[in-house]
Amino acid sequence: MMKTFKNTLKTQSGEVSSYIYYATSPLCSRAALAGVVVERLRGRFVGAPRGNRQPLHCPFVENHRNGDRHPSAWLNLETGWLNCSVCGAHRPEDVLQRLQASNVPPPVRSTGQRQTTQPGARQASKVPAIEAALAAPLLTTTWRGLTPQTLERYDVRRMPNGWVAMPYYELSFSACTCEDACSEDAECSCCAAPTTTRCVAVKYRLPSGQLRYLSAPGSTFNVPFGLQACDPPVGWFLAVVEGEVNAMSCWQSAGVMFDAVSIGSQQPSVALLDSLRHLAGFYAAVVVWMDEAQRAQSIAHVVGSHAHVVVSQVDSDGAKLDANEILQRRGEDAVAAVLYRAAGVGGSTQTPAQHLDVLLTRMQVVNNREIET
């Protein structure tokens, strides 16, 4: 079988589909499939492997604003799974199908010369206007393990072309000028809970998994995704994650005690961090769940001393188990258990229902103390 793979890899592009057939057939072992993926992606490798992890340029260049000129992916050389910090985990079969559809060469690093965009490329990247996204009907079917109720909460919509639209809303933040001299009878507006206002951006997810971005004039992705689900902040806890589907997975799994927002996988702007810091101040505890420990610690530092860090673990098949991966593989209780334990509610052997009982007991104690005082 391996001889067949090697011979096929030497053929011309017209015979690419043959190795796709063999690689996806039941007769192909997982090790053989991983070998095919490694050979096909070898031209995109960057530097030496670190154990069984090989850094490389992500082949799903449509998901990257800069074509992934700065490598953001790594390949598990034993399993063939591709993990990208921008577009997530991809199965070996999906990688091969992607390479069959469009064998994109590795991105060329900038030489300092201005590059012009071809008209055809501009047309291919054209996305619907924000007004069209907000006018589209809500997504009413289960998507990536997310229920219609969750999708409605986060205002996720289905476009006529099959794209999924995820709107970003800004908050009505204002600088506090009262210097803690608010009246006890009426809370001033600058100390009140933030409320969502207008939609400032939309992220579109295509059926293929590719992403498209659109910002309102004068606006960017400088706010967390999911603020509309925190309007007003009603949960005791807040989950801060990278991807939009991860935020929705946390909210759906952890119930009314948790709100959840996403800050994306790119370096957050100063404005986004300011919005996150303001929002986090309305919660008793904030769980920062990221793929990388260093990034999680930096976000937790911005949030404050009530932040708790969770780092995504790599499963036996090479996939990073973020919130949505856990939701689809193990169910809502598994996601809720991670969040409640990180927030310090309950022990490692307790179920999410027992965690909730502990939390309610703590709330009753706090309320009694407030009454006594």
Give the Cα separation of 175 and 155 in Å (integer): 28
Check if CATH label 3.30.70 holds for domain 2-101: no
What would the pLDDT profile of 28-37 be if each residue is shown by its tens digit?
567 778 888 8
Query: What does the alpha-carbon distance between residue 191 and residue 188 come to, in Å, rounded to a whole number?
Result: 6
Query: Which helix (H) or strand (E) is 310 found in, with range?
Result: strand 307-311
Q: Which long-range contacts (CB under 8 A, 24 or more apart) does 299-304 make?
A: 299/240, 299/263, 299/268, 302/273, 302/276, 302/277, 303/240, 303/276, 303/277, 304/277, 304/280
| Fold (CATH) for 127-372 | Dna Topoisomerase Vi A Subunit; Chain: A, domain 2 (3.40.1360)
What one-character DSSP code corresponds to residue 165?
E
Q: pLDDT at position 196, please?
A: 62
Domain spans of the chain, in order of start? 2-101, 127-372
Amino acid at 164: V
Separation CA 84–CA 56 (nearest Å):
9
CA distance 345 to 355: 6
pTM over 0.75: no
Tell me which residue of 242, 244, 257 sits closest to 312, measured CA to CA.
242
| End-to-end Cα spacing for the chain | 77
CB-based contacts of 19-25 (< 8 A; 24+ apart in sequence): 19/96, 20/96, 20/97, 20/100, 23/92, 23/93, 23/96, 24/93, 24/96
Q: What is the pLDDT of residues 182-236, one digit of tens each?
A: 554 444 545 555 566 788 899 999 988 888 888 887 676 688 999 888 866 666 8
Q: Mind listing the pLDDT tens digit for each residue in 106-149?
A: 555 444 444 444 433 333 347 888 999 999 999 999 999 999 99
Q: Which amino acid is at 309?
A: V
- The owner of tokens 């507006």 is 189
Residue 333, H or E segment: helix 332-342
**Cα–Cα dist 84/312, whole Å:** 13
Q: How confident is the model at residue 155 (pLDDT cuts 50, 70, 90)?
A: very high
**Gap between the Cα atoms of 173 and 175, Å rounded:** 7
Please tell me the distance from the alpha carbon of residue 337 to that of residue 332, in angstroms, as a whole number.
Answer: 9
Are 194 and 226 in contact by the 8 Å Cβ rule? The answer is: no
